């Protein structure tokens, strides 16, 4: 069995993940990237999406992240996210309601210049990402 890498996912409010992982996959702003133990150090910005990792026992885990930064070192991956939730923490009904509100704002932005289309689109992306993770997609 290969060595494990330390994974930390933190937000300004809390520590979301602190555990060993066999592999970490994350949504970099230039594309998804993967990190194994011994990886060359780098830093990158993150986009909204899913951090997937295989824990030390071989079970695949999923964490929603919304923006932030990732630092990969040979023995550790640190993700500093604006917001993050484990799959089990995602409130599906709340995410569906957020998706509906965002879609309504996007539709309204075509008629009303006061509605911020970019912000509404970002809210829709976050809601869809949360739902995809919660529903196992």
Residue 11 has pLDDT above 70, yes or no: yes
Residue 1, judged by CB atoms within 10 A of its CB (0-12, 13-18, 19+), counts as exposed
101 and 84 both lie in a single domain: no
- pLDDT one-digit tens code per residue, 59-78: 999 999 998 999 999 999 99
Considering the domain architecture, whether residues 23 and 83 belong to the same structural domain is answered as yes
Question: How many whole angstroms separate alpha carbon 100 and alpha carbon 106?
Answer: 10
Residue 1 predicted with pLDDT over 70: no
Query: How much is the pTM?
Result: 0.85
Does one domain contain both 41 and 103? no
Contact between residue 55 and residue 20 where contact means Cβ atoms under 8 Å apart: yes
Question: Which residue range(s) make up the domain with 121?
Answer: 91-134
Dihedral of the alpha carbons of 35, 123, 16, 41, in degrees to the nearest 10: 30
SS3 97: helix
Three-state DSSP state, 107: helix
Q: At residue 114, does pLDDT exceed 80?
A: no
What local confidence, expressed as pLDDT, does residue 113 receive?
77
Give yes or no: residues 10 and 22 share one domain: yes
Backbone angles phi, psi at 106, to 5 degrees: -65, -45
Q: In percent, how much of the chain has pLDDT > 90? A: 75
103 Cβ neighbours under 8 A, 6+ residues apart: 124
């Amino acid at each position: 069995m290969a060595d494990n890498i330390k994974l930390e996912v933190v937000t300004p409010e809390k520590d979301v993940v602190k555990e060993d992982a066999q592999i970490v996959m994350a949504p970099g702003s230039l594309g998804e990237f993967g990190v194994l133990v011994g990886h060359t150090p780098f830093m990158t910005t993150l986009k909204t999406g899913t951090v997937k990792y295989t824990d030390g026992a071989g079970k695949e885990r999923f964490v929603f992240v919304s923006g932030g930064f990732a630092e990969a070192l040979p023995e550790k991956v640190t993700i500093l996210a604006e917001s993050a939730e484990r799959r089990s923490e995602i409130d599906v009904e709340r995410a569906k309601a957020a998706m509906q509100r965002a879609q309504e704002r996007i539709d309204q932005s075509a008629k009303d210049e006061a509605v911020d289309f970019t912000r509404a689109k970002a809210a829709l992306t976050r809601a869809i990402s949360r739902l995809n993770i919660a529903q196992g997609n």
